[in-house]
Amino acid sequence: MLHREGKATIFITLLFLTGLNYLIFWLAPDLVWLQNLIIFGSIVLLVIVLQFFRNPSVEVPLNEAHVLSPADGKVVVIEEVEEPEFFQGKRLQVSVFMSPFNVHVNRNPVSGFIKYFKYHPGKYLVAWHPKSSTENERTTTVIERPNGVQILFRQIAGAMARRIVWYVKEGQTAKQGGEMGFIKFGSRVDVFLPLDAKVTVGLNQVVKGGVTVLAEIK
């Protein structure tokens, strides 16, 4: 199943590859090796684009005490940090890096009320850069659970990710594991947890969006 965000990109890719192959066959009708090379390269590129926009079904293990990973990828940061935008205080940060080969659907880590949302234009530093969380193009979403506990998570564009898409706004109700957005071509998601949260993943662990439990909270 392909994600709706990929329709335009897939169409443009098909159009470009069709034109390229037609041009090669027209300009070099006798160079069979070149024609075959372009055909092979076109198939590889198309497969890469298609797999990037795949959207497999996910069975979300709903649990109010769990914070689920908002994205597929690898855990690259687990540390106590100062969160200046909303909390203006210390929080536990868990960051998930998405390579171009991961599913890029972003999901709500918890259920609750969307207390805060803001889009920030910015730079396109590599996603693992320490300043990417505060200087890159990004969105910040805060979900408040029924017991008042607030979880902040941030979509961050990377050097290749030039478009962040979100489907949420302040005042809405968020369902744990539900789609909240999409980031194209490599990026990162930061999650900011209460200091007493019990982190249940380790550095470099591979996680699955809407499935893997990042932490347990009260």
Residues designated catalytic: 187
Torsion of CA 36, 41, 43, 46, to 10 degrees: -160
- CATH architecture of structural domain 66-216: Distorted Sandwich (2.70)
Measuring CA to CA, which residue among 102, 134, 136 is closest to residue 210? 102
The residue type of 45 is L
pLDDT truncated to tens, each residue of the chain (218 aa)? 766 776 777 788 888 888 888 888 888 888 888 888 888 888 888 787 777 777 777 889 999 999 999 999 999 999 999 999 999 999 999 999 988 788 889 999 999 999 999 998 866 665 555 555 666 788 999 999 999 999 999 998 865 555 788 999 999 999 999 999 988 766 889 999 999 999 999 999 999 999 999 999 98
Q: Where are the domains of the chain?
A: 4-52, 66-216
Supply the pTM of this predicted model: 0.83
Q: Where are the beta strands (DSSP E) in the chain?
A: 66-68, 73-83, 89-98, 105-107, 112-120, 138-144, 150-157, 164-166, 173-174, 179-183, 187-193, 198-199, 206-207, 213-216
CB-hemisphere CA count at 13 Å for 172? Answer: 14
Tell me the C-alpha distance between 128 and 132, whole Å.
Answer: 7
- Please list, in sequence order, all residues whose beta carbon lies within 8 angstroms of the beta carbon of residue 216, skipping any fewer than 6 positions away: 65, 66, 67, 197, 198, 200
